[in-house]
């Protein structure tokens, strides 16, 4: 009877969640909330500023952006075509150039630790430089136009693509690789018959994903003179031609939505 009374009062029960774990979770949640509050305070990112700005945004959209100038569609279409070409060329070049870096950046293929670390640091360096900074540099080297955008996005995409693929190669099944090595296969045969069959789908999927990123990134690159839709967007903003700006935004949105949809469908098919 005494035992039943104690159990009803909670005495002698084994807690489902240990006390130490409760304290750990509570402390972690408090710490994360504190970091969010501190970040909002230091960046002055308070919700009231956004709420106060809503009327201004609404007025700008209704009074300035509408109606769009549909007569500007032909100019926008040509610029969008150039944007697409920049993204397609840069993604293709990056996917081809990245192949050796994908292999050399995988620890299960490149067993030389010094060389492996060198490749990883090099890829980190490529990803560290923002594409817009690369575009500014190439505009200074080759001049204004689409070529500087292609070169900037190629280098930026190379770092991303090689990192994604090298990490994918590191997670593949080691069985086929060991079998080929045990039967006397050299490094190229290990890559050709052990690695490629396991990562071919990922290679195509990542290439499509980076193509999506590059279409959006090439819009921004136009602001620094690297060609594409961003170039005419900056021109129209500087001249306060908001009807033309509205046309550019609408057609860019439609184009990117179509590209995203097609790319997702293709990647679903690959997976």
Domain at 139, CATH number:
1.10.3720.10
Q: What mean pLDDT do residues 166-192 have?
A: 86
Contact 147, 225 (CB under 8 A): no
Are 59 and 81 found together in one domain?
A: no
- Cis peptide before 67, with omega less than 30 degrees from 0? yes
Distant-in-sequence, close-in-space partners of 243: CB < 8 Å, separation ≥ 6: 65, 67, 68, 69, 72
pLDDT confidence of residue 4: 61
Q: What mean pLDDT do residues 133-153 have?
A: 86
Are 85 and 180 found together in one domain?
A: yes
How far, in Å, CA of 211 to CA of 160, rounded?
12
Confidence class for position 91, pLDDT limits 50, 70, 90:
very high
- Please indicate, yes or no, if residue 210 is contained in any of the structural domains: yes
Residue 103's domain spans which residues?
70-269
Are 33 and 146 found together in one domain?
A: no
Lowest mean pLDDT, pick from 26-40, 158-172, 192-206, 214-228: 214-228
Residue 145 φ then ψ, to 5°: 130, 180
CA distances from 200 to 67, 154, 166, 174 (A): 47, 21, 13, 16
* Between 265 and 89, the higher pLDDT residue: 89
Confidence class for position 33, pLDDT limits 50, 70, 90:
very high
Residue 36 predicted with pLDDT over 90:
yes
- pTM across the whole model: 0.75
Domain limit, last residue, from 65, 99, 122: 65
Our count of domains for the chain comes to: 2
- Please indicate, yes or no, if residue 229 is contained in any of the structural domains: yes
- Please indicate, yes or no, if residue 7 is contained in any of the structural domains: no
Contact 154, 90 (CB under 8 A): yes
Percentage of residues in the chain having pLDDT higher than 90: 13
- Please indicate, yes or no, if residue 236 is contained in any of the structural domains: yes
Residue 29 predicted with pLDDT over 80:
yes
- Please indicate, yes or no, if residue 5 is contained in any of the structural domains: no
- Please indicate, yes or no, if residue 15 is contained in any of the structural domains: no
């Amino acid at each position: 009877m005494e035992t039943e009374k104690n159990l009803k009062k909670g005495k002698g029960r084994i807690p489902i969640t240990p006390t130490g774990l409760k304290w750990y979770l509570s402390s972690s949640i408090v710490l994360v909330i504190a970091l969010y509050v501190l970040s909002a305070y230091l960046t002055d990112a308070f919700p009231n500023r956004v709420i106060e700005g809503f009327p201004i945004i609404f007025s700008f959209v209704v009074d300035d952006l509408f109606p769009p100038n549909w007569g500007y569609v032909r100019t926008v279409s040509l610029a969008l075509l150039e944007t697409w070409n920049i993204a397609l060329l840069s993604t293709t070049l990056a996917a081809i150039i990245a192949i050796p870096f994908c292999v050399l950046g995988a620890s299960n293929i490149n067993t030389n630790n010094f060389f492996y670390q060198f490749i990883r640091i090099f890829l980190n360096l490529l990803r560290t430089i923002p594409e817009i900074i690369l575009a500014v540099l190439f505009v200074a080297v080759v001049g204004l136009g689409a070529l500087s955008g292609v070169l900037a996005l190629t280098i930026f995409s190379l770092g991303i693509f090689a990192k994604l693929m090298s990490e994918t190669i590191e997670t593949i099944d080691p069985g086929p690789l060991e079998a080929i090595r045990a039967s006397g296969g050299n490094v190229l045969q290990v890559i050709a018959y052990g690695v490629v069959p396991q990562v071919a789908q990922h290679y195509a999927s990542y290439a499509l994903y980076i193509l999506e990123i590059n279409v959006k990134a090439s819009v921004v690159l136009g602001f620094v003179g690297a060609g594409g839709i961003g170039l005419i967007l900056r021109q129209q903003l500087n001249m306060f031609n908001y009807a033309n700006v509205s046309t550019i935004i609408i057609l860019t949105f439609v184009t990117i939505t179509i590209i995203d949809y097609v790319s997702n469908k293709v990647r679903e098919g690959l997976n």
